[in-house]
Amino acid sequence: GAAFAPAAAVAAAPAAVPAPAAPAAAAPAFHAEVRHAQVGRTRIAWYERGSGPPLLMAIGTGSTMAEWDPALLALLARDHRLILFDYPGLGRSSATAGRRVSFALLADRAAGLLRAIGIDRADVLGWSMGGFLAQQLAIRHPGAVRRLVLAGTNPGGSQTVLGSPEDQRIDSDPTPSDAAALRVLYPRTAAGRREGRAFLQRLDRASDAGTIPDDFDVPARTIRAQVEAEDPWLRSDANARALRRLALPVLVTGGRSDPVVPPANARRLARLIPRARLMLLPGAHAYLFSDRVRFSERLRRFLSPSSAPSSPASSRPSASP
């Protein structure tokens, strides 16, 4: 709230000299408060940040809700109520006993989380494996998704273009070294290496400050289960066929130099989805972190309540918002 100088101090000041204004009170620092929601037999850990229309954020393979770039979150939280969560068996969420991991199951859990916390309909951002969940969420629970943003992901089945075997191995490694992980997340240049190191430093600072949860428990068995779920995803064209029936606005984004999910996947997704827009940005798999200002601005415009409905995607993708 506004701060005012004490009335006595103002009265004592000479008439010709205004009393100095008291410094404005600093806004309280954000602190991530982890909560839990019971969804079926699974206890899902989640936290929220920001205010505005809800934006559910689904992250990639073997990552917790603490591994989004804090700088990107700060930008998105200006206009959205971010809902971040841990997948079953990762971080602070319990495992789902007796259920084989599938992206349909993860989508059902995400829909259940939204219901449990009182959100009827949300915008959804899915990055990498989180994009598989996001697609299934829009297909299986269309009433729960207002608009969909797909980032660095693929449509599954014969429409998928895979990265090199080495890059795929790094991406699915339960315990990659920082150096290996950064090789696929950021461009393999001196500038890319600097940006990768800066990202790790932002994670450390945010964890110490409490603006992201101290939530980095990633059991190898859960990662293996997530990786195994990709086999049926890549063998079946069912998801790609279902995308043709989506009726909601979709923004498909990709990194022009992504070695894990080559940009051809974004182009194919945009052709499959009737109301998709396509945007390719410079960068590797973490292009939404390295080009976060442009990414967040494009996201803000696309998710704006006043944004016009999408028209079919152009065959000439934009490199800018």
Question: Does position 11 have pLDDT exceeding 60, yes or no?
Answer: no
* Cβ–Cβ under 8 Å, residues 81 and 48: yes
CA–CA gap between residue 11 and residue 18 (Å, rounded): 10
The share of the chain scoring above pLDDT 90, in percent, equals: 79
Question: Does position 319 have pLDDT exceeding 60, yes or no?
Answer: no
- Predicted confidence at residue 27, as pLDDT, reads 53
Question: Does position 193 have pLDDT exceeding 60, yes or no?
Answer: yes
**CB within 8 A of 300, min separation 6: which ones?**
78, 79
Question: Does position 252 have pLDDT exceeding 60, yes or no?
Answer: yes
pLDDT digits (tens, 9 = 90+) for 147-161: 999 999 999 999 999
Sheet holding 54-58, edge to edge: 35-39, 42-49, 81-85, 54-58, 122-127, 145-151, 250-255, 276-281
Residue 309: phi and psi, rounded to 5, are: -60, 155
Question: Does position 320 have pLDDT exceeding 90, yes or no?
Answer: no
Question: Does position 196 have pLDDT exceeding 80, yes or no?
Answer: yes
pLDDT digits (tens, 9 = 90+) for 13-54: 333 444 445 444 455 589 999 999 999 999 999 999 999 999
The CATH number of the structural domain formed by 32-303 is 3.40.50.1820
- Predicted confidence at residue 243, as pLDDT, reads 99
- The H-or-E segment that residue 195 falls in is helix 190-209
Considering only CA atoms, which of 74, 94, 73 is closest in space to residue 84? Answer: 73
Region 263-289 average pLDDT: 98
- Predicted confidence at residue 312, as pLDDT, reads 47
Region 231-246 average pLDDT: 98
Token reading at 300 = 């803000």
Question: Does position 280 have pLDDT exceeding 90, yes or no?
Answer: yes
Task: Characterize 156-168 residue by residue with b for buried, 16 or more Cβ atoms within 10 angstroms of its Cβ, and e for exposed.
Answer: bbebbeebeeebb
| Averaged pLDDT of the chain | 89
CA–CA gap between residue 132 and residue 103 (Å, rounded): 6
pLDDT digits (tens, 9 = 90+) for 46-86: 999 999 999 999 999 999 999 999 999 999 999 999 999 99
Question: Does position 8 have pLDDT exceeding 50, yes or no?
Answer: no
Token reading at 22 = 């008291």
The amino acid present at 209, given as its one-letter code, is A
Region 251-279 average pLDDT: 98
- What is the DSSP code string of 200-248? HHHHHHHHHHTSS-S-----HHHHHHHHHHHHHHHH--HHHHHHTT--S
The amino acid present at 169, given as its one-letter code, is R
Helix then strand then coil, in percent of the chain rounded to 5, is: 40, 15, 45
**What's the predicted TM-score (pTM) here?**
0.87
The share of the chain scoring above pLDDT 70, in percent, equals: 87
Count Cα neighbours of 259 within 13 Å in the Cβ-side half-sphere.
17
pLDDT digits (tens, 9 = 90+) for 226-236: 999 999 999 99
pLDDT digits (tens, 9 = 90+) for 85-133: 999 999 999 998 778 899 999 999 999 999 999 999 999 999 999 999 9
Least confident segment among 73-87, 121-135, 243-257, 299-313: 299-313
Task: Characterize 73-95 residue by residue with b for buried, 16 or more Cβ atoms within 10 angstroms of its Cβ, and e for exposed.
Answer: bbbbbebbbbbbbbbbbbbbbbb
CA–CA gap between residue 261 and residue 249 (Å, rounded): 22
- Predicted confidence at residue 306, as pLDDT, reads 72
